[in-house]
Amino acid sequence: AAGAAALGTVGRGAYGVLRGPRLKHVTIPLAKLPRSAHGFRIAVVSDIHLGPILGHAHTRRIVDTINGAQPDAVAVVGDLVDGSVAELGHAAQPLSDLRARHGAYFVTGNHEYYSGADEWIDEVRELGLRPLENARVELPGFDLAGVNDISGEDHHAAPDYDKALGDRDPARASVLMAHQPVMIHEAVEHHVDLQLSGHTHGGQLFPGNLLARAANPTVAGLDHYGDTTLYVTRGAGAWGPPVRVGAPSDITVVTLAAGSA
């Protein structure tokens, strides 16, 4: 009976990954967001983990889900791939069909630095996404910034918060794409209003849930650090075994709300 229960749990966990992530909706108020930007919607997707099992069809499901939500912008928050462009370029190709009025943006995760980050940054740019390498862009009513993952420190591409955020107008609301939740401490120091992260997979399955809790300040969902809000998506794929137990994959549509609304 125990064996059958375990097999059923693993089977359901694998089906959830292979079926693709489901949409989740979260509304986050930002005190400095003007009323003109109230309701701006960002589709947040992380940890797609393209590889030998999760390939072209997985990307197509994700793109179709995002496009169906009709977001204003898309934030791809790292760990897109587990392999080189030569191996997985075809699997990533559906990303070229992402549609959002104010564009799609990408920051590196730790797995990009295991997979040839420079080549992948060039590849996602060719696919129509804008890499934010310690950079920012002005969107209606707020600044969207991105920093490289911490793993970039070993590849001469460390996160640089001053470069991404240092000379911005502090009166404008700011949203930061940063792959790992632990990067929230730098975000607080730089007066970021909202950080969007992934990395944890929500724990994915035992004992990963214990490791994720030990290594990250927040494993999934919303949290607050000083005046900065952190949102951590559970991610859209899986690393290692394509199984999730108690941590279903998601794509989150974050709706920004004006503080005066």
Instruction: Give residue 18's domain range.
Output: 2-258
The percent of residues in the chain predicted with pLDDT above 70, rounded, is 90
Q: Cα torsion at 115, 157, 219, 3 (round to 10°)?
A: 20
pLDDT digits (tens, 9 = 90+) for 124-161: 999 999 999 999 999 999 999 999 999 999 999 999 99
* Element at 177 (helix H, strand E): strand 173-177
150 against 205, higher pLDDT:
150
pLDDT of residue 238: 87
How many helices (H) and strands (E) in the chain? 7, 12
**Banded model confidence at residue 6, pLDDT cuts 50, 70, 90:** very low
Check if the beta carbon of residue 20 is closer than 8 Å to that of residue 48. no
**What is the total count of domains within the chain?**
1
**Cα–Cα nearest to 133, from 116, 114, 115, 152:** 152
pLDDT digits (tens, 9 = 90+) for 14-36: 545 666 799 999 999 999 999 99
Those residues whose C-beta lies under 8 Å from the C-beta of residue 228, and which sit 6 or more positions away, are 184, 187, 188, 191, 192, 193, 194, 195
The whole-chain average pLDDT of the chain stands at: 91
For the entire predicted model, the pTM comes to 0.92
pLDDT, mean of residues 209-216: 79
pLDDT digits (tens, 9 = 90+) for 49-108: 999 999 999 999 999 999 999 999 999 999 999 999 999 999 999 999 999 999 999 999
CATH number for the domain including 89?
A: 3.60.21.10
Q: Alpha helix locations (H) across 35-158?
A: 56-69, 85-92, 117-126
Amino acid at position 100, single letter: A
